[in-house]
């Protein structure tokens, strides 16, 4: 089934064709139990993101934005409701199917980057290709071209501890795009960048994802950043407060 979903989104690759992943959330509830307390992080959230659409997600700290991305990526499971990727319920997938789908089809830019400390900048950027078993000689030219584009060619052998926050963030963005996924999930992808670098990276992200027809769900606190989206939702206390198409 996984193969069908993955190949469905790959089939349509081609000029002017959408290869993005359609995402649908159906009445999602996510609650955490802390002692006797029940904390509701997402409360009855329904949402559809069309293939190739760029959705911006805003909302106060603690409103459930990262929880929503984690559930879509299958990194966590909803307490109630279902999530559909390309029309298929991911709750019916086995863990290894989900892992494989995530590895091939999802590019995740985490709020805290999650770079691997023992890998160099270029190895971190190439991680999805490394994990797919590609030899260094196959990925190195492509990764170096990317590093150059984001002004980090002279940092390729640095380890994450030797990089600034903004530099780590740029590596994390390359890592999310390098394997040409069909869905990008980005949690504050420009939070640590100065406005000029942030704008450059966003422009690049939008250009690449529009070219390939990739679906993007991007969390941000910055209305200027949210303006890059085709659509915007605002969250409050685990619910979608407002949604707007652009």
Per-residue contact track with ligand ATP, 140 to 179, x per CB under 6 A? ----------------------------------------
HSE at residue 209, side-chain half, CA atoms within 13 A, is 34
Minimum distance of ligand ATP from residue 76's CB (angstroms): 8
Structure tokens at 163: 């990089």
CA separation for the pair 28, 71 (Å, rounded): 9
Per-residue contact track with Mg ion, 10 to 39, x per CB under 5 A? ------------------------------
Chain residues 26-85 in contact with ligand ATP, contact rule CB under 6 A: 32, 34, 39, 41, 59, 61-67
Minimum distance of ligand ATP from residue 107's CB (angstroms): 18
Main-chain phi, psi angles of 26, to 5 degrees? -120, 105
Sheet containing 88-89: order of strands: 37-49, 23-34, 80-85, 88-89
Pairing of strands 106-109, 215-219: unpaired
Q: Which of 63, 66, 70, 215 binds Mg ion (CB under 5 A)?
A: 66
Minimum distance of ligand ATP from residue 110's CB (angstroms): 11
Question: Of the two residues 128 and 229, which places its CB atom closer to ligand ATP in the complex?
Answer: 229
CA separation for the pair 155, 211 (Å, rounded): 28
Question: Of the two residues 97 and 111, which places its CB atom closer to Mg ion in the complex?
Answer: 111
Which residue's CB atom is positioned nearest to Mg ion? Answer: 66
**Looking at the chain, which runs of residues are DSSP E strands?**
23-34, 37-49, 54-59, 80-85, 88-89, 106-109, 183-187, 215-219, 231-236, 239-245
Chain residues 98-117 in contact with Mg ion, contact rule CB under 5 A: 111
> Which of the choices Mg ion, ligand ATP, none does residue 62 contact, using the CB cut-off of 5 to 8 A by kind?
ligand ATP
CA separation for the pair 14, 24 (Å, rounded): 24
Q: Is 220 in the site for Mg ion (CB under 5 A)?
A: no
The dihedral region occupied by 203, where left means phi > 0, alpha psi between -120 and 50, and beta the remainder, is alpha
Q: What residues make contact with ligand ATP under the rule CB under 6 A? A: 32, 34, 39, 41, 59, 61-67, 111
Q: What residues make contact with Mg ion under the rule CB under 5 A? A: 66, 111
């Amino acid at each position: 089934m996984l193969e069908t979903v993955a190949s469905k989104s790959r089939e349509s690759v081609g000029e002017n064709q959408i290869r993005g992943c359609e995402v649908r959330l159906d009445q999602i509830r996510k609650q955490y139990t802390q002692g006797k307390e029940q904390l509701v992080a997402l409360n009855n959230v329904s949402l559809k993101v069309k293939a190739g659409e760029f959705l911006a997600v805003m909302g106060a700290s603690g409103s459930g934005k990262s929880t929503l991305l984690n559930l879509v990526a299958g990194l966590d499971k909803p307490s109630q409701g279902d999530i559909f990727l390309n029309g298929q319920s991911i709750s019916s997938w086995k863990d290894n199917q989900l892992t494989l789908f995530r590895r091939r089809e999802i590019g995740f830019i985490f709020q805290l980057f999650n770079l691997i400390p023992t890998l160099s900048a270029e190895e971190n950027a190439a991680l999805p290709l490394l994990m797919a078993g590609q030899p260094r000689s196959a990925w190195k030219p492509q990764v170096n071209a990317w590093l150059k584009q984001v002004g980090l060619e002279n940092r390729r052998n640095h380890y994450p501890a030797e990089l600034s926050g903004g530099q780590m963030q740029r590596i994390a963005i390359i890592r999310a795009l390098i394997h040409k996924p069909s869905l990008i999930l980005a949690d504050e992808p420009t939070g640590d960048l100065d406005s000029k670098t942030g704008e450059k990276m966003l422009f690049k992200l939008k250009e690449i994802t529009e070219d390939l027809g990739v679906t993007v769900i991007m969390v941000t606190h910055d209305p200027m950043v949210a303006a890059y989206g085709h659509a915007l939702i605002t969250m409050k206390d685990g619910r979608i407060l407002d949604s707007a198409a652009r």
